[in-house]
Amino acid sequence: MASLHLDEDTLDMIFHALRHPIRREILRKLSARSLTYSELLKELNIDESSFLNYHLRKMEELLIAKKGKEYVLTDVDEICLRLVERIKEKDDFTEYLAYRRIRERLKSKVTITLVVLLTLSIFLLVELAIIGIINYAFIIVTMSSGIAFSAVLTFFIHRNRETKWKMIWGKRNTFLLILLVQLLVQVIIRIILLEYS
């Protein structure tokens, strides 16, 4: 293999690309043989194709290339492979995948909890309207203003992140939490104001 002279920017890009354990594992898999996209998904045991796409984009052109339908290593990638081989990663990749699965399960449980709490707070609003502490107009105003406020605040919290429809849906927990807190705060303020008037 001919020696390559790499400038500072290229080296920065290489180290950035190799920062993630999945990218290092892609590098190892491709060092054994060239693989198609579907083979990479299977070899890496990745469920989401968008997740693999993200990491392949980070490695594109500089580290990996496509020959027909298969991904192969570039000359620069051969150098990176030597770097990665010197680093002994103790089950980093499998630990990372386990971490991702746990995180996804936790996210879904948080979502379910927030939906249940939001439903209970809506029942609380209806109960308060039935016994005459608040009126139904207050419920409508509170819900509509809460939804608008939560949507705007969620947008501003996540505006600098990559926005795809799938990722926007992933921000639902932020939206639900803001809506829940906003509804409960408005109800508490309303009850306190009624108590002192």
CA distance 177 to 147: 11
Crossing angle of helices 21-32 and 49-59, in 10° steps, is 80
Residue 143 one-letter amino acid = M
**Per-residue confidence (pLDDT) for residue 165, from 0 to 100:** 47
DSSP string, 86-121: HS--SSHHHHHHHHHHHHHHHHHHHHHHHHHHHHHH
What Cα–Cα distance (Å) separates residue 171 from each residue in 98, 184, 186?
22, 21, 23
Structural domains in the chain? 8-89 (1.10.10.10), 102-196 (no CATH)
Q: Is the pTM of this model over 0.85?
A: no
| First vs last C-alpha separation in the chain | 84
Question: In this predicted model, what pLDDT tens digit does every residue of 119-173 receive, in sequence order?
Answer: 999 999 999 899 988 889 989 999 999 999 988 888 887 776 555 544 555 678 8
Q: Which residues of the chain have pLDDT under 70?
A: 1-6, 61-63, 65, 76-79, 81, 83-94, 160-170
**Per-residue confidence (pLDDT) for residue 2, from 0 to 100:** 45
**Per-residue confidence (pLDDT) for residue 162, from 0 to 100:** 55
**Per-residue confidence (pLDDT) for residue 1, from 0 to 100:** 43
**Per-residue confidence (pLDDT) for residue 140, from 0 to 100:** 92
